[in-house]
Amino acid sequence: MTTAPLRPQLTRGGDRMIAGVCAGLARHLGWPVQMIRAGMVVAAFAGGAGVAFYAWLWIMVPTADESARRNARPPASPIAPAVSAPVQSPDAQGNTAIAGEPWRFRLAGMPYGKEILLGVGLLLAAGILVARLLGLDVPLGTLIPVAAILGGAAIAWMQLDETRRTGIMDKAKANQAGGWARLAAGLALVVAGVLVMVSGSGSWQQTWLALLASVAVLGGVALVLLPWGLKFWRDLETEREGRVRATERAEIAAHLHDSVLQTLALIQRRAGNEQDVIRLARAQERELRGWLYRNAERDEGQLSDALQAAAAEVEDALGQPVDVVSVGDSAMTGRLEALVMAAREAMLNAARHGGGPVSVYLEATGGAAEIFVKDRGPGFDPAAIPADRLGVRESIIGRMRRHGGTAVIVSNPDGTEVRLSLPLAPDTAAPAPPSTTTPPEPARPTPAGTTTKDTP
């Protein structure tokens, strides 16, 4: 059976009658299911050996999907194992390696397995000796239930860390809760069974003693298992941490490959076209920045995100850098959508006519969201825009007015600035002062625009 590699793994499931043990065994050994089942039944009549064997396999052999989950744990990336290896403790590593093999090898690889068994045995012996010394007659009728309790507890524990292990790995809390419930139920059953058995055959005093003994033994088991359990838990933690780091690393590698390396390849192929190279580099820089400096706790889809996206679009379309600085933020609403659209139009104009970098500033604090779009182009006269040019008149000024906001365009030979403002609360939106929404007065002479539009 040690030459397992060619054989399918021993797992339960398939066409199950009770727990799929026979089916699993048949698959593993390559024998017909009927033969295994018949063998089991025959063995069951031989002093119940078949039943015990069946029960044992039921407990110790994982189901097909449990096993699949365990085997799926190693990260898929080829670089990940190299990263996670130094973080894992040897014990944890040993466990990972062994987890996929049949249960008996796993049991052997369990940390301190032998020591635990030895400790439990010694504790039992010590208990018996102490009882003898105290002059108590320890009947076999008490010892057997105690052994039963021990066995039950051990089984429950082993079952528990199976479920806990996979539970932790998959972050499925339900498995953990299930494990605890199973433990409690197992213990309750064992203790109750023993009590009934003992009280049925003996006096109340004996029952009391049996209860005491079982509680003492359970305490002893807990004492012995606690340090081991803690160590096991810590190993799991380090293993998990290593895995998280490895996953992170793999994610970074994948991201760099998909984005930066691809862009670098593109840039090499287009080295002759300066405009394309700048555009590619700029888009890649923006993407990388967004990825590096994103704040995981921050809500997505905020006003600043929408503005950034609009700026990126303009940048890609026209090849002019658009720098967005934002202070404060707000959840997106339909009205803010209009604000962003107006800002986008302003950015498009600035990039198209400004002929240089565009500065965008968003301030969404207090009761209003304000966006300023500034370029350093030659400027223009907003009043002199032809009536058929809807860009400024409709997409910026008209749109802002319809949504209860204001748009002011200030232009002089040093550049143009579009100032958009929109109250954040919808109820204050209705009465928009019409004076500020009118297209601004003559623009060439600067004084008209130099009034700051600070909200009171």
Partner 1 sequence: MTSQPDSPVPAGAPVPATRVVIVDDHAIFRSGLKADLDAGIAVVGEAATVEEAVRVIGEALPDVVLLDVHLPGGTGGGGRDVLAGCAALLGTTRFLALSVSDAAEDVVSVIRAGARGYVTKSISGAEISNAVRRVAGGDAVFSPRLAGFVLDAFGTSPADIADDELDRLSARELEVMRLIARGYSYKEVAKELFISIKTVETHVSAVLRKLQLSSRHELTRWAAERRLL
Residues that bind partner 1 (CB under 8 A): 289, 292-293, 295, 321, 323, 325-328, 359-361, 363, 365-366, 372, 374, 414, 417, 450, 452, 454
DSSP codes joined into one string, 18-34: SSSHHHHHHHHHT--HH
Cβ-Cβ contacts under 8 Å for 361 (sequence gap 6 or more): 324, 325, 326, 327, 371, 372, 374
Find the radius of gyration of the CA atoms of the chain: 37
Question: Least Å distance between CB 327 and partner 1?
Answer: 4
Question: Least Å distance between CB 278 and partner 1?
Answer: 11
CA 448 to chain CA centroid, nearest Å: 55
Q: Which is nearer to partner 1, 271 or 292 (CB)?
A: 292
Q: Which is nearer to partner 1, 276 or 363 (CB)?
A: 363
Q: Which is nearer to partner 1, 48 or 290 (CB)?
A: 290
95 by DSSP, 3-state: which? helix
> Would you say 304 and 340 are in contact if contact means Cβ atoms under 8 Å apart?
no
Q: Which is nearer to partner 1, 183 or 358 (CB)?
A: 358
Which helix (H) or strand (E) segment holds residue 79: the answer is: none
> Would you say 385 and 393 are in contact if contact means Cβ atoms under 8 Å apart?
yes
> Would you say 259 and 267 are in contact if contact means Cβ atoms under 8 Å apart?
no
Q: Which is nearer to partner 1, 127 or 321 (CB)?
A: 321
Q: Which is nearer to partner 1, 236 or 371 (CB)?
A: 371
Per DSSP, the chain holds a count of helices (H) and strands (E) of 18, 5
Question: Least Å distance between CB 293 and partner 1?
Answer: 5
Question: Least Å distance between CB 359 and partner 1?
Answer: 3
Tokens 């449990």 found at: 66
Question: Least Å distance between CB 328 and partner 1?
Answer: 7
Which helix (H) or strand (E) segment holds residue 217: the answer is: helix 204-256
Question: Least Å distance between CB 321 and partner 1?
Answer: 8
> Would you say 393 and 414 are in contact if contact means Cβ atoms under 8 Å apart?
no
Burial 146-161 (b: 16+ CB within 10 A, else e): bebbbebbebbbbbbb
Q: Which is nearer to partner 1, 257 or 298 (CB)?
A: 298
132 by DSSP, 3-state: which? helix
Question: Least Å distance between CB 438 and partner 1?
Answer: 22
Q: Tell me the β-bridge partners of 363.
A: 327, 370
Question: Least Å distance between CB 323 and partner 1?
Answer: 7
Question: Least Å distance between CB 397 and partner 1?
Answer: 19
> Would you say 360 and 325 are in contact if contact means Cβ atoms under 8 Å apart?
yes
Q: Which is nearer to partner 1, 313 or 363 (CB)?
A: 363
Q: Which is nearer to partner 1, 157 or 372 (CB)?
A: 372
> Would you say 179 and 164 are in contact if contact means Cβ atoms under 8 Å apart?
yes
